[in-house]
Each structure stands twice: as structure tokens, then as C-alpha cells.
Structure 1
Amino acid sequence: MENVGKVLMAGDWHGSTAWMEKVLRRAATTGFTALVQVGDLAVLWPAANGDDKFTEVLKRRLDEHGITMIFVDGNHDVHPKLRALPRNGEGFGAISDRLLYAPRGHRWELDGVRFGALGGAYSIDRFRRKLGKSWWEGEEVMPGDVERLGTGPLDVLITHEVPAGIDVAAGFPRRLLQAIQRDSYASRLLVAEAVRNTTPHLVFSGHWHQRRTGLMPGTRTRVHVLHQEFCGGNLVSLDLQTLAVEEFTV
């Protein structure tokens, strides 16, 4: 992809066809040709009748609007299917020509801007889910993922989990928060390690269903945590010439 100009950055969508169609219509009318999403997209999700409507509609709409979408995996994604995708010439897992999965550790460029992918997070609701149907092993960030990403400098790092050092505690009951912090902290520490290794200018994350931004302690890296579907703060635009970030409303 060349001469992209601006990229639309998106938080969690959780397989919402209504939100996806609304966003893509708005993106197309405002001139976007590229969209990067931070995980919990929920493509290839198993349906009771075998009809994965969300993925099929998403592929059609991307073609209709001339938009290429790149996404990382979250915790609520079908990890075995994503990892089994055939890789295209640029190293993405290709669901279609315009719907591309960025595996953990993958790097790519848009208009000379260096991107890296580090998906994954811990599901705090896994006790309510069924293994192989609504929850899959391999969701958490692992040391090998950080190693694959490497230590070469990046401009933008795309993660699902928010790196340790960024406060995402607001709004959670204390008892639940303690469990969340305990169970998810290993992944958060690994994402923070990847940030230190690659010194990106920007990090875009999701997972915590809130919109906030902050500087990583001791660095110049700004982290943007994006909200979930149908919420303000799910979308921002990224100018690839200046790396300026602006809120984007639908």
C-alpha cells in the first residue's frame, strides 16, 4: 500500500456487523483507504448454523469501499484459525486481499511509517466461556512473541493488551480489579517490554473498553487505549506524515 496519507485506527468490534458497516461507510466518505484494528475483531468466529456472517459481510464491504483492513488478534479471537491462515507476500495472514491479519511479531510499513504487531491478552471472563467454542488457548502474550517482534525501532506498535505503566483501573470494582490485575499482568509486562525494546512513537491498544491516553513512564511513547464498538473513542485517525492523532466520530 502506497500514498495512504491517513489511517483509521479502531478499537474492539466484537463481531458487530452493524458497527462495522457504519464505520466503513463513514471511512469511505471521508477518504480513508486503510484501517488498522487492535484485536477482538472476532472474524472467523464459529456460528451455530455454520454461517459466519460477520466475516463475509466485512470482506464484501471492504471491497465495495476500497479499504484495506489490517488487524491483530485480541483475547476474544479464534487463535487456531488465525494462525493457520495462508501468508501473503508481505507476511500477513490473508482472509481476503483486503482483510489481513498481522501475526504477533510481524512488521510492515505504510508510507514509510514502521508498524509492528503484538496481539493477545488474558480473558478475565474465560470462566463463562467454553474452550473451543467461545474461548481458545493461545490468547495470552508470550515471551516468544516479544522476541519475534525484535528490538529494531518502530514508529507505531499495535497491541491488544495495554502495556504495564498505563492506568486502566478506573471504573472497575476493587475485588474484580485485583483479579484482573493479577491474571493479566504477565501479558501487560511483556507488552511493556516490547515498548522498551522498540521505542515506538505511538502505541495503540484496546481490550479494556475505555478511551484514554498516557505516556509510558520514562519514555516518549504515547499510548492510545481505544474504546469498544458503539462508544465514543473507538476510532481515531493517524496522519502518516506527522504521526498526529485525532478523534474520529461516526
Structure 2
Amino acid sequence: MIRVLFAGDTHGQTAHVDHLLRVAVREGCPWVFVVGDFGYWEHQHDGRLFLDKVDRRARQHGVRCAFLDGNHDNVALLRRTYQDRDDDGLIVVRDHVQYAPRGHRWTWGSSRLLAAGGAASLDKDLRLAVEQRKTDRAARRALAHRNAGAPRDYAGTLWFPDEELTDDETDRIIAAGGRVDLLLTHDKPRDGAPSFNRKTAEAAYPNQDRIQRIVDALAPAQLIHGHLHHRYTQTLANGTVVDGLTCDPAAGHGEPGYRVEDSWLVVDL
């Protein structure tokens, strides 16, 4: 048996991840696993510092930290940068920080796990507009100062085109078949019906439908996800128990009934 602390969105908040690591030590968990929006922003200096700090704190606590990708993680850069895998097949990002790519399966304890990251950003247009404003501002500064180099282009720094699970990825996951005890996702399945749901726009549904297809095909005993910033438990018609986790306090501020302890779930596998 292995005990794992699963956590909702951490959004690059080092203090919150350190808190999760401390809870993991208290609960006897050798792993913390973040179900998306971990804070993989290695295209920025602060993002690289976040990874280095998490790696250092995880090593000090004697705990490893793994994550799958959410819509606010730069998954394209992650895929290009890292390929080495550990004994569980997780991609090594730092000595104590690992990534579970979409479709990856592994065994912890007596349980078979499957990762299926990705979700849709409902604030896509806002993020693209901010990127464009930053690019325009950089161009004006370069022109005013007659800089010889090309001004910085901020495209791809706030919104990531590969954010959603694709139909092809979904098809491959389903075609692989096999037993799945625990499905780990960022998004909820379409049939998930929490009492508080931030993701009800039409743009959210295609990715939720892909997760639902996986649930219908593989019938996992349990599914753990983030993304909604809301803690709930629901049993679907096929018997799959869905646990949605909330997020770090900075992002959870203002959410109805927010409690930081609802951002993690300890599971014996």
C-alpha cells in the first residue's frame, strides 16, 4: 500500500505547495500529486524559480511532487524540454518534481492510475488580449528607444494552444483499454454536477465530453480532478466516484465556502 496526497490547482504558489508537502509528511504520504494548473510556466523567470523552490522543499521534506497538465500549464514547452522518465514512467522535470503526461498509466500500491490532463480556458479571449497589449507596448518602447533588436512577442505566454485534451489523445486512451482504478484529470467529466460550477459555458463542454468518454469506456473506480476550484464528491451512474478538489487560497478567495483543507485528498492505494 502507498498513501498519496492528491491536490487541486496550485497555480505556482510556492507557499501553498510547501504547505501541501508538510501535510503529506504529517499524513505519511511519500507523494503529492497535483491534478493540473500546477504552475508550469518555465517560459518565465518566476516559473523557473517556482520549480526550483518546489524541488528543494520536496527534497527537504523527503516527499516527491508530481503533476498533470491543466489549461494554465505550458504543456507544449514541457513536452519539448523533458523526456527522461523515472521508474514509474513519469517524466522527470526536477529531481523531486515529475510530470504525468496525457494517457500515461502506472501502478502505485495495488492501484492502476491513468492521467488525462487538459481543459479549456474560458478566459481565453482576455488572455489573448493581454498578450497583444504587452506585445504592442514592447514594440512602442523599442521604437521610442531605437532598440536594434526585435521587440519581444508575448504570444503564447498567457494562453496555450495545446491546453485541451484532443480527440486523438482520447481515442488512444480508450483504445488501450485495461483496468483503471483511479483516473486523474484536470477537468470534470460532463456528467459531473457539483453544486457550484464555474465551467458552464459552451466552450467548456468539448473537453468535458472527452473526459466523459474515457469514464464511460474504462469505468474507473474513482476520478479526482481540479479546475473548478470547488470541493465535491459525486457517484456517477456507472459507479465511478468523482472527487473534485478546490485550489490554493490565492485563487480560492471569494469561492463559496472555501476551505484550504478542501484542496487535498489523502488516498490509500
Sort the TM-score into its range (normalised by shorter chain).
Answer: 0.7 to 0.9
CA-CA distance at 1:50 after TM superposition: 6.4
Within 1, Cα distance between the matches of 2:11 and 2:108? 26
CA distance in 2, matches of 1:45, 1:168: 33
Q: Give the aligned partner of residue 33 of structure 1.
A: 30
8 Å CA contact retained: 2:105, 2:115: yes
Task: Please show how residues 14-163 of structure 1 align to structure 2 within 5 Å.
Answer: 14-47=11-44, 49=45, 52-84=48-80, 85-89=82-86, 90-129=88-127, 130=131, 131-149=155-173, 150-163=176-189
- Aligned partner (choices 201, 210, 215) of residue 190 of structure 1: 210
Judge conservation of contact 2:39–2:47 (CA < 8 Å) in 1.
no
Give the match for residue 246 of structure 1. Answer: none
CA distance in 1, matches of 2:16, 2:100: 22
Q: Letter of the aligned partner of 1:185 in structure 2? A: Y
**Aligned residue identity for 1:140:** E
When normalised by structure 2's length, the TM-score is 0.80
Indicate the residue corresponding to 2:222 in structure 1: 202
**Considering only aligned residues, what root-mean-square deviation do their CA atoms show, in Å?**
1.8
CA distance in 2, matches of 1:118, 1:169: 24
- Farther-moved stretch of structure 1 (117-126 vs 88-97): 88-97
Give, in angstroms, the shift of residue 44 of structure 1: 3.7
TM-score, normalised relative to structure 1: 0.85
Could you report, residue by residue, the CA deviation over 1:21-77 in whole angstroms, capped at 9, with x for unpaired residues? 122123223321112110000124433x56722111001111111112221100000
Please tell me whether the aligned partners of residues 196 and 230 of structure 2 are also in contact (alpha carbons under 8 angstroms). Answer: no
In structure 1, the gaps of 5 or more residues are 241-250
Which structure has more helix as a fraction of its residues?
2
Contact 2:30 2:62 in 1 (8 A): yes
Residue of structure 2 equivalent to 1:239 = 268
Quick check: 1:104–1:148 contact (8 Å CA) kept in 2?
A: no
Provide the rounded CA distance (Å) in 1 between the counterparts of 2:188 and 2:208. 6
Partner of 1:8: 5
Unaligned runs of 5+ in 2: 132-154, 250-259
For the residue of structure 2 that corresponds to 1:7, the secondary structure is strand
Cα 1:87/1:146, change in 2 over 3 Å: farther
Which residue does 1:244 correspond to in 2?
none
Deviates more, 1:22-31 or 1:57-66: 22-31
| Identity score, percent | 31
Q: Do the aligned partners of 1:13 and 1:41 also contact (CA within 8 Å) in 2?
A: yes
Is residue 82–residue 93 contact of structure 1 (8 Å, CA) maintained in 2?
no
Number of equivalenced pairs: 229
Aligned to 2:144: none
Structure 1 stretches of 4+ with a deviation exceeding 6 A read: none
